[in-house]
Structure 1
Amino acid sequence: MSLSFDLNDLEVLTTNAKQIQDKLLEDILTLNANTEYLRQFLHGSSDKELFKKNVPVVRHDDVKPYIERVANGEPSDVISGKPITQFLLSSGTSGGKPKIFPINNKYFEDMTFIYAQSSSIISKHIDGVQEGKAMMFKFSRAPSTTPSGLPVSSVTGSYLTGEYFRNRPSNHFTSPDEVTLCPDNKQAMYCHLLCGLVRRDEFVSVAATFASTLIGAITVLETHWKELCSNIRSGHVSEWITDFACRDVVTNILGGPNLELADLIEEECREESWKGIITRLWPKTKFIQSVLTGQFAQYIPTLEFYSNKVPLISMVYASSETIFGVNVNPLCKPQDVSYTFMPNMSYFEFQPADEGNKGEIVDLVDVKIGCYYELLITNYFGLHRYRMGDIVQVSGFHNNAPQFRFARRKNLVLSVNVEATTEEDILKALNHATDHLKSSDLILMGFTSYADISNLPGHYVFYWELKSNKVNGVVKLDNKVMVECCRVIEESFNYIYREVRTKDKAIGALEIRVVKQGTFDSLMEFFISQGASASQYKTPMCINSSEALEVLENSVRARFFSDKLPPL
């Protein structure tokens, strides 16, 4: 596959989606039919109909023993027709402990291809992008290894420490590689910001893999702006930046004292409100790029506040298992993002999500607009008809390739009775509730939830971390506003929740527990200590771990309950 890309490729791929998918499945089966895993179902055949009839739909637990055998040193042909060279680590926050997935360099060929595709699409919609750099907040750390010595790392970490990143044609980031590859994430974040401030006239976009990282960057800026200004004014990097490679390259970028720039930054940061701080400090910013779909939709209002509503773009839908597709309409509202699936990435199948996994499984080109499906993937590296747990809704087609809106993770639901409240339900309710925070000049910085059934009737608990939208502002909790937020969340939930809550009185009043600032950083540290990937961490939307709940409970500063039953 060519690693370059132009928009004609997009048209060819999406027009010939069925033919490309059929050929890709044939290639995968030809390559892998004699692996130990597939041979028991296909007996060496690469026939599509036999594949559909005999190969079972599986979850991670079903294939985990095969993956672990390769990780422990058995030959790759247990699951893969080509050598497995490393393992990707899932984030570990969607469904419990991190999982590992086998790959080789083809995964990064696909990633490089999709990045080129994304860049071409953005360039079509936004002028002048190619002439500028991006302030990119990416982080890496040394991979761990399997018992057989193969590296294990997150997608981001594997890419950053691999040849495709190292050998890219040019550096389009304001930070040099020494900063991106700094193993200490705190030092790296500070130096990303310092390089971005010094090179403020060179870049046109701000980017991070996940929106939560951008919120974290703003928090660090708010905490350290005086120190950053001092570094720029003196031309010296703070002494606590002890990574020598990082320190040397950033000192070179500083290039000596710059009083004028330090004064300019200080003037902006001293303002009472940080509304629009991104475009005030970096006026050439044309867009912000990050994942803003699914659980990251919660950060859209906060990023709009800090960015003066420059375009927020979600370009790529990807996972540790495979890459799915791209957003061909990057300037749409972030709440309306759909991804066009690329038929050359993996073989995709879809099972109707509302039929209890009993509906007919259909191919990529046979999905129906408006319907919800659970994703099944077959890739080159040993996953066959693998149930992703992602629920997507078909929103349209680009030529013959369907476009999907990410709806929710399948198992992320709250329930204390017969109701099932999905990720989609939670995010919709949250958007309605946070509108009511504006009157208190408060911003929601992080949230999670759980179903408390320790007493009857059980009830939903939401943990909120709030901050003032004024610099050094104190978080003042207005009881009336917070109770109203509780009420609005309940009113936004589905009919079954409202009926069970109102008629049957089988669900108690919804509760919001406000936690101290910094609590969600502590939650992140807890999950990382349990094996989650630092570079791919996502705050879980629903908490099931008693230890994680303890982290939250130790920081609760106030509790509020809905004071009315929701209308039916």
Structure 2
Amino acid sequence: MAVDSSLSPLGPPACEKDAKALQFIEETTRNADPVQERVLAEILARNAETEYLKRYKLGGATDRETFKSKLPVISYEDLQPEIQRIANGDRSPILSAHPISEFLTSSGTSAGERKLMPTIQEELDRRQLLYSLLMPVMNLCVPGLDKGKGLYFLFVKSETKTPGGLLARPVLTSYYKSEHFKTRPYDPYNVYTSPNEAILCPDSFQSMYAQMLCGLLERNQVLRLGAVFASGLLRAIRFLQLNWQQLVNDIRTGTLNPKITEPNLKSCMDGILKPDRGAGGLRVETMRR
């Protein structure tokens, strides 16, 4: 695939894979209007027989003007009865021709109550595609991000089940617990110091402790440090201030903090830890700073 290097004004892409990602972004955003029309037509055609679209008598039309003239602008509350039916176990094509695989939940910060957003299995493919586009763009501004490892603090949150048996959980928890994430192919941008067992541990203390410990163990390979939200990085810094002595002890002795009790995580960390009594970079003076 020949890639026009002029499409990357900040500099050349790091590799052919990055070049394809950048070209996809360019082509999609440069022709946003026809792309949006095509996507809308695909959605309407696929879901023509759903209860919701049949209610507004589109008659199989897939063009934007008919869609705008027939369907009203709505809020979450307008769809809540249909969403509740799905949550209660109704598997008929109410809002989607494809089976609803789970519910994604909002944070609840806007109205004090988490909203349920039905999603389908193939949506994970789109999310994975979106996530894969981030680093090629960032690498144009900060070259070399494909080198070394990333100490990223990634966490799962609690999940529930609806009365009909569907999982309801935050979008990132859904992604981290999916096979898309757990069996993801090698990508130099996403080489993390944190093992999956640490990321997927439901106990927030144990998860943070293990991720911090793994990052310190591989400190000489860490090139990037971050979290999904800035608050997560602040929590990690405060956690290090409070727990550095035990972390240093674990690294020097090769023993694991007894507070780490989650079986999968404990087994994983026991296989990683080795005594490192010469860890000069972890002197008390350094940690106090």
TM-score category, normalised to shorter length? 0.7 to 0.9
Q: Secondary structure at the match of 2:163?
A: coil
Give the match for residue 137 of structure 2.
121
Q: Secondary structure at the match of 1:259?
A: coil
Q: Secondary structure at the match of 2:151?
A: strand
Relative to total residues, which structure has the larger helix share, 1 or 2?
2
User: Structure 1: which 5+ runs fail to align?
Assistant: 272-568
Compared CA separation, residues 262 and 44, structure 1 to 2 (3 A): farther
Letter in 2 for 1:210: F
Deviation at 1:104, TM superposition (A): 1.2
Candidates 10, 14, 18, aligned match of 2:25:
10
Give the match for residue 48 of structure 2.
33
Candidates 48, 51, 57, aligned match of 1:42:
57
Deviation at 1:265, TM superposition (A): 4.4
Give the match for residue 172 of structure 1.
191
Q: For 2:79 and 2:99, locate their aligned partners in 1 and report how far apart those are by CA, in whole Å.
A: 17
Deviation at 1:109, TM superposition (A): 1.2
Deviation at 1:141, TM superposition (A): 4.7
Q: For 1:29 and 1:194, locate their aligned partners in 2 and report how far apart those are by CA, in whole Å.
A: 49
Deviation at 1:132, TM superposition (A): 1.7
Quick check: 1:190 aligned with 2:190? Answer: no
2:93, 2:99 within 8 Å by CA — same for their partners in 1? yes
Deviation at 1:142, TM superposition (A): 6.0
User: Once the two structures are superposed, what CA deviation does each residue of 1:141-196 show, in whole Å capped at 9, x if it has no partner?
Assistant: 56321122111111111111111102211361101111111111111001110100
Deviation at 1:62, TM superposition (A): 0.6
The TM-score with structure 1 as length reference comes to 0.45
1:143, 1:151 within 8 Å by CA — same for their partners in 2? yes
Structure 1 segments (4+ residues) deviating >4 Å: none
Give the match for residue 373 of structure 1.
none
Relative to total residues, which structure has the larger strand share, 1 or 2?
1
> How much identity, in percent, do the aligned residues show?
37
Candidates 43, 67, 75, aligned match of 1:51:
67
Kindly report which structure 2 residues correspond to 1:316-395, keeping only aligned pairs within 5 A, or say none.
Answer: none
Letter in 2 for 1:92: G
Q: For 2:52 and 2:280, locate their aligned partners in 1 and report how far apart those are by CA, in whole Å.
A: 61
Letter in 1 for 2:153: F
Deviation at 1:251, TM superposition (A): 2.7
Q: Secondary structure at the match of 1:231?
A: helix
Deviation at 1:80, TM superposition (A): 0.5
Give the match for residue 246 of structure 2.
227
Q: Secondary structure at the match of 2:122?
A: helix
Q: For 2:201 and 2:138, locate their aligned partners in 1 and report how far apart those are by CA, in whole Å.
A: 29
1:76, 1:82 within 8 Å by CA — same for their partners in 2? no
CA RMSD of aligned residues (A): 1.8
Letter in 2 for 1:259: R
Letter in 2 for 1:135: L
Quick check: 1:214 aligned with 2:237? Answer: no
Q: Secondary structure at the match of 2:228?
A: strand
The TM-score with structure 2 as length reference comes to 0.87
User: Structure 2: which 5+ runs fail to align?
Assistant: 1-16
Give the match for residue 94 of structure 1.
110
Q: For 2:288 and 2:99, locate their aligned partners in 1 and report how far apart those are by CA, in whole Å.
A: 56
Candidates 252, 255, 261, aligned match of 1:242:
261
User: Once the two structures are superposed, what CA deviation does each residue of 1:63-87 show, in whole Å capped at 9, x if it has no partner?
Assistant: 0111111111112411111111111
Q: Secondary structure at the match of 2:133?
A: helix
Q: Secondary structure at the match of 1:6?
A: helix
Give the match for residue 479 of structure 1.
none
Give the match for residue 485 of structure 1.
none
Give the number of aligned pairs: 268
Q: For 1:174 and 1:30, locate their aligned partners in 2 and report how far apart those are by CA, in whole Å.
A: 44
Q: Secondary structure at the match of 1:78?
A: coil
Q: For 2:85 and 2:242, locate their aligned partners in 1 and report how far apart those are by CA, in whole Å.
A: 47
